[in-house]
Structure 1
């Protein structure tokens, strides 16, 4: 079994005076009363403090999310959107969809020039690429329905972090040096990481964000309306008008998050709950789990050639179906979601799977979608057995890299997740199918896959990841690792991952973690392979029934990530 990171620890037997070295993955955290695992240790601590004050998992999730907007600005946000999967202590599961929406002035051809080509990468760069943010609305809606503590109590930790500052990390400093040299069009980034003296804050020094603190104060005082109405909304509209954007106060006032029923399936003794459309993640995850159940994956050795082959083929099929059928359910009422997540569909999909040869990928029939690589996920559980799996994003790292310096936060560039050219699908991955074309107030399709696995009606695994198009597959493989291969959570997260998204037709694998023999065997079967440094930044929690405690682990790929329990 191959892992991303291992620690060499030594056991000293004092009585015998002997030193015994042994290799052990050593990154789990235990918490009897609750657990928060996120991309920044201060955000995890903020969530834990809320739990200690008597808050539940929703309260802690809201506090963690707002804290990440301060400490993890590349993806933590109030300028983007995302999804919550929430399992209540009684076993009931619901979800909150706060995915961004296209502005009222948007259209299917808004990114095209007179020749029908994408103009100046405008679906990813510039303010036309910004969707109406949903994060504040989603967090507020979830809290108002299921939170225990007051709204002010759960937002306050983020306000204090922004106002008082926190120690600049080396990872943030590296970004600060790079971003500050960009051109003037990326206005907010030039001064984003600078202190009162005008110099970039160096590692160890306190980084304060007074403008963001004022925005968070408005949200703390006025709830949802502190963002979507009043001073903040007025400044968002003014900034958009001055810099080529189309989001208005009307767009902001009309935005609403939506509570939706999760998609689910049974696998062995477990029940898997995940996010429905406009996330494609839950549908694809369930389709792949059902397909591998039909293929009897438990009889196949982990990381063997047959394992990598069949996992890649499951991915290929799920991503093809994803691109052909899925989009915003409010604009696509006839989506065949129930069919795609059914056991019968998986069995039929398995029939044309050749265990000795790679399948073709034909862009004239179906394909996959674009997705940015910089998202963040966190997982939360509490003493009563409530669990939250929350993934939210700005799309690319630091989103569109634009924002009003008066507000202190960065806007998303999520409009790039729509199909940009109607009717045009290519081998490189551009998709033109109807379900995900741009339309006013439509939510763009997403890869985010916040997931909760239950056993006997209680949370057993809470998991999710950033990674754009790779999210679905890294979550899928981690679920497999826990449910099929009985790995503990830290090992399931660190184990080698692959990614296949149907188009382009290739297996992406973590370099140095796939054996040369397996690679050669896969190539002989017709697979094309491409190495990458890392797939996913998973944040997970499992329940240990023997100890009666939560066990959390953050991916070693996250420089500041941490699991905190109590």
Structure 2
């Protein structure tokens, strides 16, 4: 039975005491899909109503988001799936991260003097070879139940018939279509005027501007006929259509005409990969995440292993001592990310060492009662400074299958370039490589060797789709957008549930923090952190800053007392929704 209910019950082993004082999450008896947009969540729910499983629901939701959430939902980007398959009782992961085109080279975004050019951020040259359609296709072929066409057609219908846009989407589109860029003096390169918005690309204007070129407002209808035609082809012909059919030719022609590097050969050669999951434990719970080239699974496991050596609960959820230790775990986890993790086809990643309890104890022993200067962790020189938009969805069906899926175009609206005649946005994921070899600076620019550009290489990712199991059953499905903040957002959701025993709603709503090794700054989300705690952290040597929001962790929590699926949309994005039965 669908509906929001207030729960007031304790769960097994003290896990999650629900607070009726908080706005309730939505509780479902059978299945649930949680995403950033209601039409997409309903597409996932409908797939399960029709006899599909959580994989089918994730595929349907992801394709729908490519229509209704253009800033991040996509068929022109890439991402990762972490799933629990009930029939085989196994965790499976799918890597559909984008790849560098075959013509790529390490210094392709630098001028003759080694200065970074702007076309790593916008336009066809910023794009890696997309992986989304191939990844969803692989997951469906291995584990889905419903016919492929049945899962893609709802998205095609949303694009063809249109959907009513929200105030949030109207504001986002207007910002891209009407805001004026401020170009720096002399800020031109060989590609033109440093494009950085949809309004800089005629094809993007044709796809997203209103016919009368007035501003969008809530209640307007967005219709995308070119995208509908592309989705129809993919629905009928399968994933190969995107990589070897008409859509592939349209994409390759567009790339060639606009200075990009993606070719028909690149598209035809692209394959998604089944990877071994990252498995760690925390307080008796099993934590499963995505392995390299995603860094999130390793970083999250390492941070949790470090923090398990401390009694955070006794110190207090919002105490300066707790935040200090969490920050130091983040600092070390992100140093590991910068120096050890990259595409495993190009770099040997010592996964077992990095996620081991023994190594975590070594790292924990280096945490003192003062902030560790980030430069002290590095064995190489950190140089002075020179003068992200993703989306996550979670699904779970009545049989216990569960999917955490995170995918992205990188920045909001990716490269800002819609492929003419195909209607979808290209990613700008090439910027996730280390673009200036050898230069790691205090601003957070990383130039370490493992993640340098190479032909056909997958760029490092921070995405952290995560499953938490207890006694072989899924208890939590979560993940988040947010660039480098993603592992730390997921860390806080997991800590809030497992360490501090907050309710699902409280765990997702709770304020978050972020530290990424460099810049050596601790950011505190929102205004709920007590001023005394801020002062104490500063006294410990942390440089403290504030940010408005961090992440968007659409989460499912299972109540082991009755098996109900509790869908918890993150209220940081007002358009988010859970749909189920």
Map 1:228-267 → 2, pairs under 5 A: 228-267=243-282
Map 1:271-286 → 2, pairs under 5 A: 271-286=286-301
- 1:12 corresponds to which residue? none
Report the CA distance between 1:196 and its aligned residue: 4.7
Report the CA distance between 1:175 and its aligned residue: 2.0
SS of the aligned residue for 1:86 comes to: strand
How many residues in Structure 1 have an aligned counterpart in Structure 2? 539
- Rounded Cα–Cα distance in structure 1 between residues aligned with 2:220 and 2:337: 46
- Rounded Cα–Cα distance in structure 1 between residues aligned with 2:77 and 2:493: 26
SS of the aligned residue for 2:253 comes to: helix
- Rounded Cα–Cα distance in structure 2 between residues aligned with 1:26 and 1:191: 41
Kindly provide the CA deviation profile for residues 324-357 of structure 1, in whole angstroms up to 9, marking residues without a partner as x.
111001111x211110000000000011100x21
Decide whether aligned partners of structure 1 residues 460 and 23 sit closer, same or farther in structure 2, where only a CA change above 3 A counts: closer
Report the CA distance between 1:558 and its aligned residue: 1.1
Decide whether aligned partners of structure 1 residues 186 and 37 sit closer, same or farther in structure 2, where only a CA change above 3 A counts: same
- Rounded Cα–Cα distance in structure 1 between residues aligned with 2:241 and 2:20: 51
Kindly provide the CA deviation profile for residues 411-454 of structure 1, in whole angstroms up to 9, marking residues without a partner as x.
10000000111111111111111110000110000000000000
- Rounded Cα–Cα distance in structure 1 between residues aligned with 2:112 and 2:152: 47
- 1:409 corresponds to which residue? 424
The partner residue of 1:381 within 389, 392, 396 is: 396
**TM-align CA RMSD:** 1.7
Is the contact between residue 171 and residue 217 of structure 2 (CA under 8 Å) also seen in structure 1? Answer: no
Ranges in structure 2 where 5+ consecutive residues have no aligned partner: 1-5, 7-18, 181-194
Is the contact between residue 188 and residue 403 of structure 1 (CA under 8 Å) also seen in structure 2? Answer: yes
Is the contact between residue 554 and residue 561 of structure 1 (CA under 8 Å) also seen in structure 2? Answer: yes
SS of the aligned residue for 1:95 comes to: strand
- 2:550 corresponds to which residue? 535
- 2:466 corresponds to which residue? 451
Is the contact between residue 125 and residue 255 of structure 2 (CA under 8 Å) also seen in structure 1? Answer: no
Kindly provide the CA deviation profile for residues 440-473 of structure 1, in whole angstroms up to 9, marking residues without a partner as x.
1100000000000001101000000000010000
Deviates more, 1:401-410 or 1:277-286: 401-410
- 1:133 corresponds to which residue? 130
- 1:149 corresponds to which residue? 146
The partner residue of 1:217 within 215, 232, 243 is: 232
- 1:341 corresponds to which residue? 355
- Rounded Cα–Cα distance in structure 1 between residues aligned with 2:575 and 2:253: 35
- 1:500 corresponds to which residue? 515
Is the contact between residue 34 and residue 382 of structure 1 (CA under 8 Å) also seen in structure 2? Answer: yes
Q: Quick check: 1:93 aligned with 2:91?
A: yes
- Rounded Cα–Cα distance in structure 1 between residues aligned with 2:360 and 2:490: 19
Q: Quick check: 1:358 aligned with 2:355?
A: no
- 1:194 corresponds to which residue? 209
Decide whether aligned partners of structure 1 residues 427 and 201 sit closer, same or farther in structure 2, where only a CA change above 3 A counts: closer
Report the CA distance between 1:296 and its aligned residue: 3.1
Is the contact between residue 312 and residue 507 of structure 1 (CA under 8 Å) also seen in structure 2? Answer: yes
The partner residue of 1:111 within 109, 121, 126 is: 109
- Rounded Cα–Cα distance in structure 1 between residues aligned with 2:137 and 2:110: 36
The partner residue of 1:297 within 301, 309, 312 is: 312
SS of the aligned residue for 1:192 comes to: helix
The partner residue of 1:69 within 55, 66, 70 is: 66
Report the CA distance between 1:197 and its aligned residue: 5.0
Q: TM-score, normalised by structure 2?
A: 0.90
SS of the aligned residue for 1:378 comes to: strand
Report the CA distance between 1:200 and its aligned residue: 4.8
Is the contact between residue 193 and residue 200 of structure 1 (CA under 8 Å) also seen in structure 2? Answer: no
Report the CA distance between 1:23 and its aligned residue: 8.4
- 1:160 corresponds to which residue? 157
- Rounded Cα–Cα distance in structure 2 between residues aligned with 1:86 and 1:565: 18
Kindly provide the CA deviation profile for residues 47-93 of structure 1, in whole angstroms up to 9, marking residues without a partner as x.
00010000000000000000000000100000100000011114310
Is the contact between residue 233 and residue 249 of structure 1 (CA under 8 Å) also seen in structure 2? Answer: yes
SS of the aligned residue for 2:279 comes to: strand
- Rounded Cα–Cα distance in structure 1 between residues aligned with 2:94 and 2:328: 31
- 2:25 corresponds to which residue? 28
Is the contact between residue 58 and residue 146 of structure 1 (CA under 8 Å) also seen in structure 2? Answer: yes
- 2:186 corresponds to which residue? none
Is the contact between residue 395 and residue 414 of structure 1 (CA under 8 Å) also seen in structure 2? Answer: yes
Kindly provide the CA deviation profile for residues 526-566 of structure 1, in whole angstroms up to 9, marking residues without a partner as x.
00011100011110001101222111111111121001120
Is the contact between residue 278 and residue 446 of structure 1 (CA under 8 Å) also seen in structure 2? Answer: yes
- Rounded Cα–Cα distance in structure 1 between residues aligned with 2:122 and 2:576: 28
Is the contact between residue 33 and residue 383 of structure 1 (CA under 8 Å) also seen in structure 2? Answer: yes
Report the CA distance between 1:199 and its aligned residue: 4.7
Is the contact between residue 509 and residue 570 of structure 2 (CA under 8 Å) also seen in structure 1? Answer: yes
Report the CA distance between 1:198 and its aligned residue: 5.2
Q: Quick check: 1:560 aligned with 2:580?
A: no
- Rounded Cα–Cα distance in structure 2 between residues aligned with 1:46 and 1:503: 40
- 1:84 corresponds to which residue? 81
Q: TM-score, normalised by structure 1?
A: 0.93
Ranges in structure 1 where 5+ consecutive residues have no aligned partner: 1-8, 10-21
- Rounded Cα–Cα distance in structure 1 between residues aligned with 2:363 and 2:209: 54
Is the contact between residue 193 and residue 201 of structure 1 (CA under 8 Å) also seen in structure 2? Answer: no
SS of the aligned residue for 1:432 comes to: coil
Kindly provide the CA deviation profile for residues 269-322 of structure 1, in whole angstroms up to 9, marking residues without a partner as x.
210000000000000000000001112333321011111100000000000111
- Rounded Cα–Cα distance in structure 2 between residues aligned with 1:125 and 1:300: 46
Q: Quick check: 1:46 aligned with 2:43?
A: yes
Report the CA distance between 1:195 and its aligned residue: 4.2
- 1:14 corresponds to which residue? none
- Rounded Cα–Cα distance in structure 1 between residues aligned with 2:445 and 2:362: 27
Report the CA distance between 1:191 and its aligned residue: 3.1
Is the contact between residue 179 and residue 189 of structure 1 (CA under 8 Å) also seen in structure 2? Answer: no
Q: Quick check: 1:392 aligned with 2:444?
A: no
Is the contact between residue 394 and residue 412 of structure 1 (CA under 8 Å) also seen in structure 2? Answer: yes
Report the CA distance between 1:236 and its aligned residue: 0.7
